[in-house]
Structure 1
Amino acid sequence: MCGITGWVAFDRDLTRDREVVEAMTETMSCRGPDAAGVWFDRHAALGHRRLAVIDIPGGAQPMSVSTPNGDVAMVYSGEAYNFTELRDELIAKGETFTTSSDTEVVLRGYLVWGEALADRLNGMYAFAIWDSRVRKLVMIRDRMGIKPFYFSPTRDGVLFGSEPKAILANPLAGRTVDADGLREMFASVKTPRHAVWKGMREVEPGTIVTVDERGVRERTYWRLESKLHTDDQDTTVGRVRDLLDDIVRRQLVADVPECVLLSGGLDSSAITALSARELREPVRTFAVDFVEQAENFKPNELRPTMDTPYVHDVAQHVGSDHTDIVLDHTQLADLDIRRKVVAARDLPMGIGDMDASLYLLFKAIREQSTVALSGESADEIFGGYRQFHDQAVQKTDAFPWLAMVNSPLEGSDLVLAPELRTKLDLDTYLEDRYGEAVAEVERLDAEDEFTHRMRVMSYLHLTRFVRILLDRKDRMSMAVGLEVRVPFCDHRLVEYVYNTPWSLKTYDGREKSLLRGATRDVLPESVVQRVKSPYPSTSDPRYGAALQAHARDILAADNDALFALVDRNVLSQIATLEADRVEAVQRSQLERTLDLSVWLDMYKPDIAI
């Protein structure tokens, strides 16, 4: 896993801009702590920071190949899990290799197949290839958007990077956030191609972006398509298990220490158990917990159970080498940690203590492992969230995660200044984005109305919601140089389950029936029967009190930039409540306001509304 960046300028000699390119590359140092490199052609410059995972001595980047008609150079972030098969195929076609890295397989695959290489890759990746033979830049992103990728067109070319901070390090890049950028920040939806920063765009998942002297062009090489599912229940469950076995086996390939993130839920427990069957030695597992969580925890509809008992059941069941990372409220509320989290995300779009705890968990894991497998995205794929099973939400024409009563995202914008709230009109913005998303879903002739609505709900989660969580996990992990792999995002599994009708996804009357049925033979019964509980949040009242204290500090200081966006009166009311009267939504408002304050201070954006 790595950080990539670059600059293409057809009217400029970039060999004279080494310092700028090196500065862009240095912003990615957290993503690649092991090595750095830059590569220059007259009109193209590539920068790379490396986290060495496969072929540690041989996979250095930028990587280039000389041809009779010019050099072809690449910067690559990610993993191609089928690189051994592709390597064998390329050798059969006459290609020779000087390393055993998947990076060289991808580069030489481009030499043979061109942009059609994208159709052959199985993995998580974001890479850019400068083809001097035709003076063209080719940028390709994985199908699900696991690895981030941004670009910003310029007058005579393009800037690109794994994260916006790499692009923002170039003097040509502006730091403006306009009204649509603010809407995207506060709406809790990830709109395709939208990067919040004006003029900057995301490479859409499953897309190839090419840049030459004629301009920028985009081509979709993969998208979720509606297909008829003909397998019966037993065949479907068996197929899910076969896919999971193959996926986990592929994703355990690495030349560095590995582990699994374990929460005690069905998703992470399944990945843990399947990994334990593949490895010759005990699988290493890690879980997050909080000081005095058992004393403070109060079951509710969102989180009916604590993780720790189930975590320990799984660890004992599979015989893992397990570690609990226990955090206290001072760590979670620490302003320095908040700055690190906001810097990792480049935007104040986080989810409070759940971001801070994830960052701290990954930081602790990185001391012992370089690669971690995660159960992320199973809820979106198999239908695990509460909203999938709420009859009112099923009938609502709105993003399901925002339509839920007591949703953790509900009301998160209410601290906005009244004038700004009126200007942004988030309700209309969300209605428009919802309509665009629904229009993308193909309906099969054989689908009844309910089955199609559930397909739409699945599509919304897989194209608008999961990308928020994938981006969060990538940013928090790469901020400490940890590579996190997400087996459930293998496109073969996503395609298969997406096209499985809802009646099969809930054949036992519960959430995630297919995953439960496919993996129950390797799990303890406690986990098989556990009700869905999301990523944990601290229940320590001292955390909320610390947030209030930080908010009071902000209120006491001159902060015109913040209070142009935030309602000072509402913030003051929340900050001065008795600590035990601060509700979950208000705590979220405090967290997001503190993030916003930090972001304004660190990035000094030009807010143009």
Structure 2
Amino acid sequence: MCGITGWVSYDADLTERQATIDAMTATMALRGPDASGTWLQRHVALGHRRLAVIDLDGGVQPMEFATPNGPVVLVYSGEAYNFIELRKELQAKGHRFLTASDTEVVLHGYLEWGEGVADHLNGMFAFAVWDSRDQKLVMIRDRLGVKPLYYYPTRDGVLFGSEPKAILANPLARKAIDLDGIRTAVTGIGQGQAIWKGMHEVEPGTIVTVQASGIRDRTYWRLQTAPHTDDQKKTVERVRQLLGDTVGRQLISDVPQCVLLSGGLDSSAITALASPRLAASGERVRTFSVDFVDHVDRFKADVFRSTPDAPFVKDMVDLIKPVHRQVVLSADDLADPTIRRSVITARDTPNAFGESDISMYRLFREIRNESTVALSGEAADENFGGYRWFHDDMRALPIFPWMAAVLNSQPSASAVMPFTPEALQAMGLEGYLGDQYATAVAAVDHLDSASRVERQMRVMFHMHLTRFLRMLLDRKDRLSMAVGLEVRVPYCDHRLVEYLYNTPWKLKSFDGREKSLLRHAVKDLLPPSVANRVKSGYPTMMHDVRYSSTLQIQAKEVLADAHSPLFTLFNREWLKSIVEMDSAKISHGDKLLLDKIIDMHCWLDIYSPEFAIS
């Protein structure tokens, strides 16, 4: 796992720009704490920061292969979980390898198949190849978008990087945010457009090629609609087989690894599948969970969290007997402003999750003291239908269902972001979100024989896999890589995603509950309490008055900044009213908004962007 960056210029001599590529590369030191490298030729400069996970001594990057017509050079971030099979296939075709790394397999795969190498890879990856034979740059991102990759077209080429901060370190990149960027920042909705003006994401499942004649992109993978022919028994068996295979692949590592264990069905299934595989090689599975001081005693159920995690984690630990550690955080831990700044810097965006981001960052930082790789249960809900709005009337509303769920759960009028009237008028959010929703619906293909319900549910799954999941994966990547931790996501294996996407809703909910297929595929491995647990979201301290008080203190500091551009967006009087309120009376929705506003203020202070709503 690493950070990559680069600069292509068909007019300049980039061998004279070592300092600039060094600066771009240095922005990703946290992503790659183990090594740094650059490679320059007249029209290209490449940078790499490495987190060594496989073949610790080999796999040094940028990695170069000399051909009679010029070098082919790779900068690569991620893991190819099928690299052992691919290496054997390439060796049979005459390729010779000098390392045991998956990086070299990807490079030789490109030499053999060109851009078609993407079709051969199973994994999470974002990489760029400079092919001097054709004087072109090829950027490729994994199918689900687990690993990030951005690019910024210039007058005579392109800048690219794993994170926007790498691109912004180049003086050619303008640090500006316009209305489109603001809309994306405050809603989290927007496809292919980074919040920075002129900057784009390489879309998941996409190849972007840069040549002197221009930039073109090609989609090599998307969700395809196809009939599902397996019955219930075969479907459950196939899910179990696919999960077992992908967990086994993702346990390949030359560094200490662990599993994130929440006590929910998703992470417990990964833990239970990983344990015997590691035991076969004489290793006990290591697990980590997060909790808060007095959380069980203070816990209050809400529509997103019905039970605290700790009792279910204990049931899993008692059964599996892992090497387990519970990371317990206090309100003071979450209120530390220096940690918030670290989180916002890692995210590169003000559209953060506030307290949940901070607790996840602290959890990852503690894990990194003992492990370099962690397996996560992320994406199970999006694949199997785990969120409650998959099962209620909100799925029929003409709005992104996760937004409808938040609005529906907060009766307070201020649960809607407290924008100024001028900002609301300029952003036109209602029309923007409506257009985004219509675009998302139009992207879905249906079977001719599909019923109304099946069509409705296919749209739900497509939206979650292509929109909602991308927000969660970006969050997971940024917060984990900011502490040099590689988080792998078995539920994002594209074979599993393809299979489940075409599994009818009646099979996904055959027992009348959420995630029927997953539950029945792994229930023999889990305690009954965990196998039957109702979906409960990531834990939070939002019901703790102590955290409310710390938010109010930080919000007072925001109000003291009379010249902050924050108040061109948000209503100062609303913020003042919340700060003066009794901490115990602040609603859950208002606490979330306080967190978001403080995050936005922090982001503006760190990045000082050109910023205007007109």
Tell me, yes or no, whether TM beats 0.5: yes
- The aligned residue for residue 343 of structure 2 is 341
- The aligned residue for residue 104 of structure 1 is 104
- The aligned residue for residue 227 of structure 1 is 226
Letter in 2 for 1:598: C
Letter in 2 for 1:479: A
Gaps of 5+ in 2: none
CA distance in 1, matches of 2:51, 2:560: 43
- Aligned-pair CA distance for 1:422: 1.6
CA distance in 1, matches of 2:265, 2:407: 23
- The aligned residue for residue 363 of structure 1 is 365
Letter in 1 for 2:354: G
- The aligned residue for residue 203 of structure 2 is 204
CA distance in 2, matches of 1:30, 1:598: 20
Letter in 1 for 2:91: I
Q: Give runs of aligned pairs for residues 175-194 of structure 1, distance below 5 A.
A: 175-189=175-189, 191-194=190-193
Superposed CA deviations along residues 127-156 of structure 1, whole A, max 9, x for unmatched, are 000000000000000000000000000000
Alignment equivalent of 2:524, drawn from 521, 524, 530: 521
Say if 1:292 and 1:540, in contact at 8 Å, map to a contact too: no
- The aligned residue for residue 277 of structure 2 is 278
- Aligned-pair CA distance for 1:258: 0.3
CA distance in 2, matches of 1:298, 1:47: 48
Cα RMSD after superposing both structures: 1.1
- Aligned-pair CA distance for 1:414: 1.8
1:590 maps onto 2:588 in alignment: no
Say if 1:401 and 1:409, in contact at 8 Å, map to a contact too: no
Superposed CA deviations along residues 470-500 of structure 1, whole A, max 9, x for unmatched, are 0000000000000000000000000000100
- The aligned residue for residue 311 of structure 1 is 313
When residues 198 and 412 of structure 1 are mapped into structure 2, their CA distance, relative to the original with a 3 A threshold, is: farther
- The aligned residue for residue 535 of structure 2 is 532
- How many residues of Structure 1 are paired with residues of Structure 2 in the alignment? 607
- The aligned residue for residue 419 of structure 2 is 416
Identity rate, percent: 58
Q: Give runs of aligned pairs for residues 567-586 of structure 1, distance below 5 A.
A: 567-586=571-590
Say if 1:188 and 1:409, in contact at 8 Å, map to a contact too: no
Stretch deviating more after TM superposition (266-275 or 546-555): 546-555
Q: Give runs of aligned pairs for residues 52-67 of structure 1, distance below 5 A.
A: 52-67=52-67
Report the secondary structure of 2:483's partner residue.
coil
Gaps of 5+ in 1: none
Report the secondary structure of 1:279's partner residue.
helix
CA distance in 2, matches of 1:29, 1:439: 40
Alignment equivalent of 2:376, drawn from 374, 379, 388: 374
- The aligned residue for residue 92 of structure 1 is 92
CA distance in 1, matches of 2:37, 2:229: 50
- The aligned residue for residue 562 of structure 1 is 566
- Aligned-pair CA distance for 1:425: 1.4
- The aligned residue for residue 605 of structure 2 is 601
- Aligned-pair CA distance for 1:408: 7.1
Stretch deviating more after TM superposition (472-481 or 561-570): 561-570
Letter in 2 for 1:482: L
Say if 1:186 and 1:413, in contact at 8 Å, map to a contact too: no
- The aligned residue for residue 263 of structure 2 is 264
- The aligned residue for residue 485 of structure 1 is 488
CA distance in 2, matches of 1:544, 1:169: 36
CA distance in 1, matches of 2:112, 2:349: 39
- Aligned-pair CA distance for 1:406: 4.8
CA distance in 2, matches of 1:340, 1:63: 31
**TM-score, normalized by length of structure 2?**
0.98
- The aligned residue for residue 125 of structure 2 is 125
CA distance in 2, matches of 1:527, 1:413: 35
Letter in 1 for 2:581: L
CA distance in 2, matches of 1:102, 1:272: 25
Letter in 1 for 2:55: D
- Aligned-pair CA distance for 1:393: 1.0
- The aligned residue for residue 49 of structure 1 is 49
When residues 341 and 199 of structure 1 are mapped into structure 2, their CA distance, relative to the original with a 3 A threshold, is: same
Report the secondary structure of 1:192's partner residue.
coil
CA distance in 1, matches of 2:371, 2:508: 35
Letter in 1 for 2:384: F
CA distance in 2, matches of 1:71, 1:330: 53
Letter in 1 for 2:531: V
- The aligned residue for residue 473 of structure 1 is 476
- The aligned residue for residue 545 of structure 2 is 541
Report the secondary structure of 1:47's partner residue.
strand
CA distance in 2, matches of 1:560, 1:471: 28
Structure 1 stretches of 4+ moved >3 Å: 405-413
Superposed CA deviations along residues 382-425 of structure 1, whole A, max 9, x for unmatched, are 000011011x2122111111112656799665222221012111
- The aligned residue for residue 510 of structure 1 is 513
- The aligned residue for residue 552 of structure 1 is 556
- The aligned residue for residue 397 of structure 1 is 398
Superposed CA deviations along residues 497-540 of structure 1, whole A, max 9, x for unmatched, are 01000000000000000000100010110001111001110132
CA distance in 1, matches of 2:152, 2:568: 27
CA distance in 2, matches of 1:406, 1:179: 23
Letter in 2 for 1:461: H
1:247 maps onto 2:250 in alignment: no
Report the secondary structure of 2:606's partner residue.
helix
Say if 2:303 and 2:409, in contact at 8 Å, map to a contact too: no
CA distance in 1, matches of 2:191, 2:87: 33
Report the secondary structure of 1:404's partner residue.
helix
Letter in 2 for 1:24: M
- Aligned-pair CA distance for 1:279: 0.6
Report the secondary structure of 2:79's partner residue.
strand
Letter in 1 for 2:494: H
CA distance in 2, matches of 1:572, 1:273: 49
Report the secondary structure of 2:611's partner residue.
strand
Say if 2:407 and 2:415, in contact at 8 Å, map to a contact too: no
